[in-house]
Amino acid sequence: MDIESTTQVNNKAGFFAQWWGALKALPTNFKSKVINTTRSIKKIGKDDPRRVIHSLKVGVALTLVSLLYYWRPLYDGFGVAGMWAVLTVVVVFEFTVGATLSKSLNRGFATLLAGALGVGGQHLATAFGERGEAAVLGTLVFFLAAGSTFFRFFPKIKARYDYGMVIFILTFCLVAVSGYRVEELLELAHQRLSTIIIGAATCMIISIFICPVWAGEDLHKLVASNIEKLANYLEGFEGEYFHCSEDKEKSKSLLQGYKSVLNSKATEESLTNLARWEPGHGRFRLRHPWKQYLKIGALARECAYKIETLNSYLNPEIQASLEFKCKVQESCIKMSSESNKALKAISSSIKTMTDPSAAKSHIENSKIANEDLKIALETVSLDDVDLLTIIPVATVAKILEEITKSVEKIYESVSELSQLAHFKSVEPNVSPEKPHLLHRGIIKPVVEVDNHHVEITIQDQEIISTDSPEKEKLTIKSSSQRLQNV
C-alpha cells in the first residue's frame, strides 16, 4: 500500500510540474510566435510590395460599395440588394487586372443572361397555371443546370468562362426558385443586377487605374527570367564540371535556378489566360500574341529537362578518363559558353522587347564548336581504353549538343514573337569609316634567259567588302598589268 500511494503521489507531482512548466513558458512561447509572425508578414511584403497595395485597394473598394448600405438615399433606392455589391467585390477583386476583369465580366454577363432567362421562364411557367408552374420551373432548372455543368468540361470554356458558368447556374436558380414565391420578380432582378454591376465596375476601375498589376507583364518577365536561369546554369556548369572558374561558390549558386523552370507550366498557362482579358497597356498592344509565350515556355522547359539530365553528371560514380576529357574539353566549353551567351542575349531581347538577332552569332559559334567536337572524337583512339571511363564524358558532350539545338529552337520562337509583337529592331554598331581595301594579286616571276629581263604579272581578283553599314558588295576590277625590267 505504501508503494502504491508513493507512486500516485509522484505521478501527481510530475503532472503538476509539467503543467507549471508549460504555464511558465507560455509568455515566452507567445512572444516568439508574435515575432515569427511579424517576420513572416515583413517578408511577404518585401518579396512583393504589390501585395500590400492590393490589400489596400480591396479595402477601398469594399468601403465604397458599403455606402449603398450606409448612405440613406442609396439604401432607399437599392434596399437589401445592396449587399450583392459587397459580395461581388469580395469574390471578384483579384490580384491582377486580367483576373479582376475576367471575373467581373463573367459575373456581369452571366447574371444578365441568367436573370433574363429566369424572368422569361417565370412568365412561361405562369401560363401553365398554378399546378403546372412548379413543374415547368423545375424542368427548366434541371435542363439548364445540367447543360451548363456539362459545358464546364470543355477545355476552352473551363479555362476562360468557368466562373461565368457557375454564376449563370446560381443566378438562374435563385431567380427561378425565388420568383415562385415573390410577386415583384422583375424589380428584384433589376436591383440585384444593378448592384452587381456597381460592385464589378468599382473593382475594374480601381484595379486598372490605381497601381495596376498586369498579368501580361508578369508573364513577359517570367518567360525572360526562366531563359536567364537556363543561361546561368550553363555558366555554372562550365565552371563546376570543367574546373575553369576561380569562383567556385558562384558556380554552385548558379546551378539551382533551373529547377523552378520545370514547374512553371501551370503559372504560364494561368497568366496567359488572364493576359488575354487585359486591354492594351504600356509596351503591350491590345492583341498581343500571348499564346506565343506558351510555345517559348514549352521549349524552355524542354531545355531545362535536358539540363536536369546534365546535372546528374556533375558528380559521376565512375571516374572519367582525364585524357579523353582533355580532348573534348575545349569544344564542350565552347558549346556551353556560346549557348549561355545566346540564352542571355535572348532573355535580354525579351526584357527590352528588341530583336534577338544578337544571339544568332553565338548560336553559329556553338554549331562550329559542335563540328570541332565531332572532329576531335574521330581522332580518339579506343585501343586499350576502358569504355566505362569514357561514357560519362561522351554523354555530357552529347547532352550539350542537344542543348545547343534547344537553344536554337528557343531563338527561332523568340524571333517569331518579335515579328508578331513588332519588337524594336537593333541597329548594328558599325563604324561609319570606309573599310580599307586590300589589293590581292598573284605574282608570277618569269625569267627569260635570252633577253635577260624579268617579267612580273599581277592578276587582280575581286575583293568583296561587307564592313560598310549598307553591307554592299564592293567589287574592284582592273586589267592585268605587266611590268618589264630589262
The span from the CA of 41 to the CA of 11, in Å, is: 43
pLDDT digit string, tens, across residues 287-323: 899 999 999 999 999 999 999 999 988 877 667 678 7
* Of residues 215, 266, 217, 263, the one with CA closest to residue 103: 215
Predicted TM-score (pTM) above 0.75: yes
* Of residues 234, 213, 311, 224, the one with CA closest to residue 264: 224
CB-based contact 158:273 (threshold 8 Å)? no
pLDDT digit string, tens, across residues 388-436: 888 888 899 999 999 999 999 999 999 999 999 999 887 655 443 333 3
Whole-number pLDDT of residue 416? 96
Whole-number pLDDT of residue 420? 94
- Cell numbers for 216, please give them: 501580361
Whole-number pLDDT of residue 474? 30
What does the pLDDT profile of the chain (486 residues) look like in tens digits? 455 556 655 565 666 677 777 777 788 888 888 898 898 888 898 888 999 999 999 999 999 999 887 887 877 777 788 888 999 999 999 999 999 999 999 999 999 999 899 888 888 888 888 778 888 888 999 999 999 999 999 998 998 999 999 999 999 988 888 766 666 777 777 888 899 999 999 999 999 999 999 999 999 999 999 999 999 999 888 888 877 666 666 667 778 889 999 999 999 999 999 999 999 998 899 889 999 999 999 999 999 999 999 998 887 766 767 878 888 888 999 999 999 999 999 999 999 999 999 999 999 999 999 999 888 888 777 777 777 888 888 899 999 999 999 999 999 999 999 999 999 887 655 443 333 333 334 434 444 444 444 443 434 443 333 343 333 333 333 333 333 333
- Cell numbers for 434, please give them: 570606309
The span from the CA of 67 to the CA of 44, in Å, is: 31
CB-based contact 96:273 (threshold 8 Å)? no
